[in-house]
Amino acid sequence: MIRINLLPPSYRKPETQTIQQFHRSPLAFLIAGGLVGLLVLLLAFQQIRSAQLAKLDARLQQLAPQKAAVDELRLAVQRLRDQAAVYERLTKGRQRWTKVLNTLSDVTPDGVWYTDLSFDLDRGLVVQGSAIGQGGEEMVRIGRLVQDLKTNPGFASLIQDVQIESIKSVQDKELELIEFTLTGGLAKAADGPSS
């Protein structure tokens, strides 16, 4: 749009645009003051939040040892529950376990004996034993023992994957002994060995 002003220049009002006069109006001071106030409020809010975060962090650091103790206790309780479940499964079938141990005795070859029998949650049934060294014949006997345990249906139904975990030669005075450790996991299907 074109505006034509026919008044002589001396009578004309100086034309200033509204935007040029804005910096002189009270509204401009009010807006600037509001922005500064908002900035101060935001900074104060940030300081308060930082202080609260520092307090919470300090409290968290104080609670860290207690949290570690609680976590350790939870782990111990879980281990005890796992052990209780396994022992419950074991005690449900005492007669069957008796048969399993009898089978272990029956398939033991001459010159081989057991020194320890235990049950570990991670390794399963742990059988430690010894054999008299006879020029390599003892290794055959231990291997045959493992094979007989794996193929015996009564034993294999409760204990699976029987393996030689370790084997070593030990000199006892003038007698050579072979010490061995056998392990076998509790069969998953054997949830409660029945009689």
Q: What is the pLDDT of residues 141-170, one digit of tens each?
A: 888 899 988 888 878 888 888 888 898 988
Q: Is the pLDDT confidence value at 190 over 80?
A: no
pLDDT at 93: 62
Structure tokens at 14: 């100086």
d(CA 22, CA 30): 12
pLDDT at 192: 42
Structure tokens at 61: 């650091």
Structure tokens at 174: 């003038």
Q: Is the pLDDT confidence value at 81 over 80?
A: yes
Kindly state whether residues 103 and 29 are assigned to the same domain.
Answer: no
State percent of the chain over pLDDT 90: 24
Residue 112 phi, psi (nearest 5): -120, 135
Average pLDDT of span 117-139? 84
pLDDT at 156: 82
Domain region containing 145: 93-186
Say what the pTM is.
0.50
Number of domains in the chain: 2
Kindly state whether residues 166 and 178 are assigned to the same domain.
Answer: yes
More reliable by pLDDT, 191 or 39: 39
Taking a C-beta distance cutoff of 8 angstroms, is the pair 106, 92 a contact? no
Q: Is residue 1 part of a domain?
A: no
Q: Is residue 39 part of a domain?
A: yes
Kindly state whether residues 66 and 119 are assigned to the same domain.
Answer: no
d(CA 192, CA 188): 10
Kindly state whether residues 114 and 167 are assigned to the same domain.
Answer: yes
Average pLDDT of span 70-90? 86
